[in-house]
Amino acid sequence: MNDLAGKHIVLGLSGGIACYKAAELCRALLKEGATVQVVMTEAAAQFITPVTMQALSQRSVYGSQWDARAPNNMAHINLSREADAILIAPASADFMAKLVQGRADDLLSLMCLARPMDRVPLLIAPAMNREMWDHPATQRNRAQLQADGAHLLGVGVGEQACGETGDGRMLEPQELLQDLIAFFSPKRLAGQHVLVSAGPTFEAMDPVRGITNLSSGKMGFAIARAAQEAGATVTLVAGPVALATPRGVQRVNVVSALDMMAACVAQADQATVFIATAAVADWRPDNAADQKIKKDGTGMPQLGFVENPDILATLAQSPRAASGELFCVGFAAESHDLLAHATAKRARKKVPLLVGNIGPATFGQDDNALLLVDANGAIEIPRNSKLALARLLVADIARRLAQQSV
């Protein structure tokens, strides 16, 4: 994807061991189509060389305010005026303190101070030892930077270069990339709380076996990510899948359809949108064995099944859905006659919007094609990556919500 196409990012490095991650971040930004201008402090150059950053960014690196390359000798003005955003990664404790004070004794801090605040956002990815991060001075600075209009991207938790464990690591390059992409995304769902069900369910027969299906969860996870990018609060109720949780999304893991039902019902009171992408098992064994069923020579055990509750139909018929406070979107994975089945399913589930797709063509794939069915008919969204489709679907849902409220 080229999610940052046309964006010019000034990547600022201050001194910290996390500078090594800035190299990968720089590559990742370029891969997404951004152009990157690196600016480094003297301390940053102790951790990674400007040569490395130049080679990766394909531009010469700036480090000094006395750099004579700029014809007007005002690198701090030129660099900040060109940028769509300035991202400081890593931002050391010292550099944050400097920004708070409005000091400008090196090119990077000078450039941050000189940036036009109304059109060049400043994003900060702190990186430091956990004691430094927890220190009241740093926390004061963090709050002050936010109050001054900077966007704090948070910190990671875990093992640190110093050998200690705790908060303060710089976020991983892919996390920072996702945050930056989300930062630039239009906030179409601001104020909405989106609940997404995703993945398969697993219906146990005994402690080691069960019935499941081929749903990978990728579409639901992509929708959760797209909704978060669009500014919604997102809760993702996920069946057993090994996918990474999208940034900023609250995930609730479940196993069976009954678990998924309980989790969705518990979350639905706060939700304003429910998107049911999960491939919920229609039936479960009626009498799951407590112990492993053994092969004792008498042949296959006879299993009985009971029908699982329909989560989507239940929520779509709740009082909040009826009053328009909860907008429900269903999915239909069919093997044939998509339009007819999806239209019938929309009526049966009583949802305003149902998204049809061909099951065998989507399960486990990274791309898909969708058919949006509503009261007025159907619109095809042609084959694309699941993330691109998810963003289109989110934009479509946002339009419907906006129409509903006029």
For residue 135, the number of C-alpha atoms closer than 13 Å in the C-beta half-sphere is 13
For the beta carbon of residue 111, count every other beta carbon within 10 angstroms: 26
Site residues (CB under 6 A) for ligand CTP, limited to 319-348: 330-333, 345
* Rounded Cα distance, 212 and 240, in Å: 10
CB 58 within 8 A of CB 30: yes
Considering beta carbons, is residue 137 or 340 the nearer one to ligand CTP? 340
Considering beta carbons, is residue 181 or 234 the nearer one to ligand CTP? 234
Q: Is 186 helix (H, G, I), strand (E, B) or coil?
A: coil
Q: Determine if 25 is a binding residue for ligand CTP (CB under 6 A).
A: no
CB 255 within 8 A of CB 175: no
Q: Determine if 220 is a binding residue for ligand CTP (CB under 6 A).
A: no
Q: Determine if 373 is a binding residue for ligand CTP (CB under 6 A).
A: no
Contacts of 2 (CB under 8 A, 6+ apart): 32, 33
CB 228 within 8 A of CB 247: yes
Nearest to 108 by CA among 53, 156, 163, 55: 53
Site string for ligand CTP, 155-194 (x = CB under 6 A): ----------------------------------------
CB 149 within 8 A of CB 112: no
Site residues (CB under 6 A) for ligand CTP, limited to 67-106: none
- Catalytic residues, by residue number, are 162
Q: Determine if 278 is a binding residue for ligand CTP (CB under 6 A).
A: yes
Considering beta carbons, is residue 248 or 359 the nearer one to ligand CTP? 359
Among 91, 312, 373, 397, contact with ligand CTP (rule: CB under 6 A) = 312
Q: Determine if 363 is a binding residue for ligand CTP (CB under 6 A).
A: no
Among 280, 326, 371, 394, contact with ligand CTP (rule: CB under 6 A) = 280
Considering beta carbons, is residue 176 or 321 the nearer one to ligand CTP? 321
* Rounded Cα distance, 85 and 123, in Å: 7
Considering beta carbons, is residue 130 or 345 the nearer one to ligand CTP? 345
Helices (H) and strands (E) in the chain, counts: 16, 19
Q: Determine if 259 is a binding residue for ligand CTP (CB under 6 A).
A: no
Binding-site ranges for ligand CTP (CB under 6 A): 197, 257, 276, 278, 280, 282, 308, 310-312, 330-333, 345, 349
